[in-house]
């Protein structure tokens, strides 16, 4: 029986040591891979082309006749897209131009 216990104890010590060493190795490998991935990511970011510039607003298209603009505005009001106040404000802008 003492020989059996010694064998079990020895196996437990070997297994525990192997587990501890394996855990440390795994931890070190994870750190290396994380550092390598971070370095690759930084290199990709440095090589990536800069984002395209924001589009510049196109110049306003020439306005149609005042009558046409007022008709369109009236249609928007009839459809319920514009409130009475919005309609009045836009109408004043068109007539002032």
Using CA atoms, how far apart are residues 19 and 13, in angstroms rounded to an integer? 10
For residues 82 and 90, is the Cβ–Cβ distance under 8 A?
yes
What is the band of 58 on the pLDDT scale with cuts at 50, 70, 90? very low
Residue-range domain boundaries for the chain: 1-48, 66-96
Query: How big is the chain by its Cα radius of gyration, in Å?
Result: 38
Tell me: pLDDT of 59 over 60.
Answer: no
What per-residue confidence (pLDDT) applies to 15?
80
Q: Which tokens sit at 7?
A: 């064998």
Exposure string of 74-93, with b = 16+ CB inside 10 Å and e = fewer, is eeebeeeebeeeebeebbee
pTM: 0.37
pLDDT value for 32: 92
CA 91 from centroid of its chain's CA atoms:
41
The answer to whether the beta carbons of residues 76 and 82 sit under 8 Å apart is: yes
């Amino acid at each position: 029986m003492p020989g059996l216990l010694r064998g079990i104890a020895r196996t437990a010590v070997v297994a525990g040591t192997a587990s501890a060493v394996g855990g440390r190795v795994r931890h070190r490998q994870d750190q290396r891979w994380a550092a390598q991935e971070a370095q690759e990511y930084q290199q990709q970011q440095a090589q990536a082309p800069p984002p395209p510039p924001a589009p510049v607003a196109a110049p306003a298209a020439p306005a149609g006749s005042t009558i046409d603009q007022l008709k369109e505005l009236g249609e928007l009001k009839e459809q319920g897209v514009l409130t009475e106040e919005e309609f009045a404000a836009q109408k004043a802008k068109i007539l002032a131009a």
